[in-house]
Amino acid sequence: MLQRSGKGKVYLVGAGPGDPKLITIRGKECIATCDVIVYDRLASPRLLKYLKPGAEKVYVGKLPDRHTMKQEDINQLLVDLALQGKVVARLKGGDPTIFGRVGEEAELLYQNGIEFDIVPGITSAIAVPAYAGIPVTHRDLASSVSIITGHESPDKLDHSIHWDKVTLATGTLVFLMGVAKIGYIAEQLIKHGKPADTPVALVRWGTRVEQRTVTGTLETIEAIVEAADFKPPAVIIVGDVVRQREKLMWYERKPLFGTRVLVTRARAQSSDLVEQIEELGGEACEFPVIEMREPAGDAAVAELTAALQAAEQYEWLMFTSVNGVDYFFSWLNKLRIDIRRFHRARIAAVGPKTAEALEKRGMLVDVLPVKFQAEDLLDSLNEHLIEGQRVLLPRGDLAREVMPRELRARGLTPVEIDVYETVLAEEQDEETFELLLGGKVDVITFASSSTVTNLLEVLRRMGVEQPVELLQGVDIACIGPVTAQTAAEAGLTVTIQPIDATIDGLIDAIAMNRKLKGAY
């Protein structure tokens, strides 16, 4: 093993083909522990969310029409960062050893006595065809696969590729980075013996929300690519396996394929929504505009403590959100109050997720309305409420007043406690913000009124003078009528609202909207 002698270390990490979930566990670990990440455009920016706080980000990506940083300069940058004692993750699209120039980077690190690890990744040569429904090998069609660079001028291609041997190969041919040379590649394959009707597919931005595929034959593919204005980056697949696409095209058949959804919920709340979006083939961009935290003021904590210490006095515990449940139990634990002291209280909840959160803690719900907002809970409770009963309402500081007002009108005594408060999120994702500015977001989801008002405020703070105008043309999805009303009053056009005010209902409504719009 190399001696570090105060030097840093470099991880040369394969980021996979684009879908951030296709990175390896080892690759994710390297991102999470590094001091600096050096990345290019083929590595998903969504992987940057795994960085530890304070980690430095250095973009060295290359575009077809310009080079942001020469390869020699990237090599030296890795050395310089490591000599400063930093742990560096060099994030490279696909697998770093397949046309990733990892050999050049690793060699200079070796020459400077810097420790490094090469962390393999899933290569786009295999993953991208798979996402287009094209297996690169097939028992009846191809027993081998050749991976060939296409990112060279014709004279260099002729020098580096033995066209006669490539053409005679019985398996699948996969060309990386060859869109601009597709005509020349097809010409050479036909010239050296490939049948002109050999199937060809090009897959652009494979495994991502922008994935697009065109197919043809060696004879027709150049004209098809030109007519479609098909641009890099793309993978080219040549061979009979391309015919499998018609039957195996699984990814592009998903309900939310091609749909980028902005999720504004607090990061701690968003996992269920994000997972469902991605399971249906969409891309979920987390842009949390709210954060939840415990009330910090002495007066608020004293009031909350007194209310919880009076546990035996309540005939009802009413919860209107999962957050209310979570923070309620957090305060009980902090104040060392036994839940059994609430033995006189019956339990009511708004929404199945809230009921589920209670049941996980061993508390079965007595009343759960068919619809999922405060007014519906009150309607369901009518026959159970008795004048004079005391009701504890563990909620957030922005909770609506309808519940305590209506309970008082019925002769009950509601005791409201703010077990958490909602504040504007401090940190924002610059990459997601750029997507929003560039009109590359299809749907924005709002799960509460505070997410509506906070998103508009966050955009203003980030320099957008007219945030409502920026969001014109984006589908606005609101979980319930109250949130939808807030959005409409702010000037937004609500296009998606589920019948059931739940995350499942919201997802179903988004999928139906995309289907009706012919988005997939």
Of 9, 19, 86, 177, the catalytic one is 177
Which helix or strand (DSSP H or E) is residue 328 part of?
helix 322-335
* 356: CB partners within 8 A, 6+ apart: none
Q: Are 484 and 478 in contact (CB under 8 A)?
A: yes
Contacts from 277-283 at CB under 8 Å and sequence distance 24+? 277/507, 277/510, 278/21, 280/254, 280/255, 280/256, 280/507, 280/511, 281/251, 281/252, 281/254, 281/255, 281/256, 281/257, 281/520, 282/209, 282/254, 282/256, 282/257, 282/258, 283/208, 283/209, 283/259
* 302: CB partners within 8 A, 6+ apart: none
Residue with tokens 């060309």: 175
The CA-CA-CA angle for residues 469, 473, 479, to 5°, reads 95
The residue among 352, 398, 357, 344 whose CA lies nearest residue 376 is 352
Q: Is 512 noted as a catalytic residue in this protein?
A: no
Q: How far apart are CA 123 and CA 17, in angstroms?
A: 6
Q: Is 52 noted as a catalytic residue in this protein?
A: no
Cis peptide preceding 20, ω within 30 of 0: no
Of 62, 254, 371, 440, the catalytic one is 62
Distance of CA 392 to the CA centre of its chain: 37
Q: How many residues does the chain have?
A: 520
Question: Two tokens at 483?
Answer: 């949130």
Distance of CA 126 to the CA centre of its chain: 22
Of 7, 9, 19, 40, the catalytic one is 40
Q: Are 229 and 204 in contact (CB under 8 A)?
A: no
Q: How far apart are CA 133 and CA 144, in angstroms?
A: 17
Phi and psi dihedrals of 253, rounded to 5? -95, -5
Q: Is 62 noted as a catalytic residue in this protein?
A: yes
Cis peptide preceding 233, ω within 30 of 0: yes
The CA-CA-CA angle for residues 380, 384, 388, to 5°, reads 125
The total of other beta-carbon atoms located within 10 Å of residue 335's CB is 12
Residues with a catalytic annotation lie at 40, 62, 177
